[in-house]
Amino acid sequence: MRILGIDPALSITGYGVIDFTRNKILLLEAGVIKTSVKDPLAVRLKDIYQGVNSLILDAKPEVMVLEKIFAHYHHPATSYLLGHARGVICLTSAEANIPLIEYAATRVKKAIVGQGQASKIQVQRMVMSVLSLKEVPKYTDVTDALALAIAHSNIMKFNPAGK
């Protein structure tokens, strides 16, 4: 199964594509889609849309995985802006007829580290270990996207119904 994990954001959207076959995980591609803070919101959303659409056409994932949105009451505007980015990503999934799976951050951490309250560093180290990465990805957004893809593979391995 080819899995595309995406960590959506307005400035830097991280992505990671893995192949999960016979309980083995292979990293195919990872990176970021960047937008300029100088551009209007509509242009930035178009850039994310086109970047994800191009990624889907190139990688041909069978499933796309996003983190469920978490809104912190101290930063409501962040959730609002994140919602825009997530919206265009969900649209690309629907247009390509790719199933979209969403997991809470605690479920991803539990599937990766075994503990729902794991730190970012613990998740990062586990992602590096699972994928045999020699160095930490430059952007945490990439690590987060890869964690989403790996979490889905782990969840599917132990529960093919995905529940």
Phi, psi of 127 (to 5 degrees): -60, -45
Looking at the chain, the whole-number percentage of residues with pLDDT higher than 90 is: 72
- pLDDT at residue 52 greater than cutoff 60: yes
Residues with catalytic function: 7, 67, 141
**Angstrom distance (rounded) from CA 84 to CA 42:** 10
* 68-72, 92-96, 134-138, range with the lowest pLDDT: 68-72
Confidence of residue 75 (pLDDT cuts 50, 70, 90): low
Per-residue pLDDT at 161 exceeds 70: no
Mean pLDDT of the chain: 90
- As a whole number, mean pLDDT of residues 50-68 equals 96
Has residue 6 got a pLDDT over 60?
yes
Q: Give me the mean pLDDT over the 4-28 stretch.
A: 94
pTM for this structure? Answer: 0.91
Mean pLDDT of all residues in 110-123: 89
Domains of the chain, with CATH numbers? Answer: 2-158 (3.30.420.10)
Residue 71 confidence class, pLDDT cut points 50, 70, 90? low
